[in-house]
Amino acid sequence: MSRHPSVKWAQRSDNLFITVQLPDAQDVKLKIEPEGKFFFSATSGVDKIPYEVELDLLDKVIVEESKASTGSRSIQYIVKKAENKWWSRLIKQTGKPPVFLTVDWDKWIDEDEEFTSKGAPEAGMGDMGFDFPNLNLGGGGFDGPAPGMDDDDEDDTEDENAEEAPSAEKEVASASGEADTKKT
């Protein structure tokens, strides 16, 4: 009986990124069919344990324009979609996906962030499409604190307490009748 390796995926409008995480994979076999059938098999380890994955992709793909790259820890596939459109999910199966299939958050971008203002895919990290200067990672930069923020939070607390103390003293003084003598 074969086991399932961990599979991660991400997409762009024109490609799918499928990564099969299987260290020391041997006898790697891949079959992609135009209808969207994806089949992977390999062995791993000293005992040559067999691993298999068979997925019915959501839509059609172009086999001739798809690429594979085998590394020591994973096998990465760039699968060309037949139509340039975003898929709502990777596989046809509805409901909860198989436990071995997860989103590859390292490669994921949202649909509305795919293109720059020039209308071209973002460049910067090869085929991954990351452009670090254009990523909105939050914060106000490295030029100091954000507007309206002070560097020292302790002083704020002391200043607030100091402002509250005189008004509290005035209330105590007026309650004891000493307020009239202090004003003169």
What are the residue boundaries of the structural domains of the chain, listed by start? 6-96
- Identity of the amino acid at 174: S
Find out whether 13 and 85 touch, Cβ atoms under 8 Å.
yes
**pLDDT score of 73 more than 50:** yes
Neighbours of 101 (CB within 10 A): 19
pLDDT in tens, 74-100: 999 999 999 999 999 999 999 899 999
pTM metric for this prediction: 0.61
- Identity of the amino acid at 70: T
CATH of 6-96, one of 2.60.40.790, 1.10.599.10, 2.40.37.10, 3.10.580.10: 2.60.40.790
- pLDDT for 2 equals 80
pLDDT in tens, 134-171: 444 444 444 444 444 455 555 554 555 445 545 444 44
- In SS3 terms, 9-56 reads as EEECCCEEEEEEECCCEEEEEEEECCCCEEEEEEEECCCCEEEEEEEE
